[in-house]
Amino acid sequence: MSGKKSRAALRDFLLEAEPEDAAGPADARAEALVALGREDGEVLATIGQMFAGTALPGDAARVSRLLRVRAEIHKEWRDARDSFLAIGRALLSLDEILTRPEMQRLRQGSERLLPFSDATATQLRQIARAVESGRLPYDQCPGSYGTAYQITLLNERQLRVARARGLLRPDVTRREIFQLRRELAQADEAAPPPNRIDRAALREERNRLAGRRERLAAELAAVDLRLRQIADLLDEAPDDAAEA
């Protein structure tokens, strides 16, 4: 069933199920339809799957209420994201007016002036910096600052993998990011980087070259000795031309 058909079917169901003389029928129905207008077929299918075997999928009023609550939660979740990003940006703006020693004082006494610790302030700054730089696009930033912070800890390769797997999205969980980091860290440990120095191999090569140098030096000494012997013999031997 397509999303469009699902919305239309549920809309008709709601209109038929709610009595005209109910308190505030027009407002209630309008609110439900507004909520439905923001939903797609996947959400309605999910509700049907989650509550299969119960009376909920057939209860238009309760489905409508569930959709309204979901919409409200999503709105508050987005508002929460906007709030912690605004706080992070505000903290970053302090860099413009505070010297480094003054900023250090603020960090040391963070909880005396602010409603959170320096650790939280550091995370909020880092998230705001990532969003402003485009490294973590605003529309992909999670509503949880803890999860958003975990994304900022990803290196460039991990970030590319996360993006390829569809993990950069508002509803991603901290557990999904943790699992990604653990998986890639284990892969990195199993396959050492190509530029890693193999000290044992280098020692073996050094010993082999040192032995070769000694052999060559001995051969060179023997060559020098033979050359001197030949020179001595030539000096002692009579000149053939003079004898003739």
Per-residue pLDDT of 112-161, as tens digits, reads 899 999 999 999 999 999 999 999 999 999 989 999 999 999 999 999 99
Question: Does a structural domain hold residue 242?
Answer: no
pLDDT computed for residue 68 by the predictor: 87
Same domain, 205 and 130: no
Same domain, 107 and 168: yes
Question: Does a structural domain hold residue 64?
Answer: no
Question: Does a structural domain hold residue 32?
Answer: yes
Same domain, 109 and 143: yes
Question: Does a structural domain hold residue 25?
Answer: yes
Residue span of the structural domain in which 214 resides: 201-235
Question: Does a structural domain hold residue 10?
Answer: yes
Q: How far apart are CA 14 and CA 32, in angstroms?
A: 8
Same domain, 153 and 216: no
Same domain, 174 and 110: yes
How many distinct structural domains can be found in the chain?
Answer: 3
Same domain, 94 and 138: yes
- Dihedral angle sign, alpha carbons of residues 20, 26, 32, 36: positive
Question: Does a structural domain hold residue 171?
Answer: yes
pTM of the model: 0.56
Using CA atoms, how far residue 94 sits from 50, 59, 70, 89, 122, in Å, is 47, 53, 37, 9, 13
For the ranges 34-38, 86-90, 178-182, the lowest mean pLDDT is seen at: 34-38
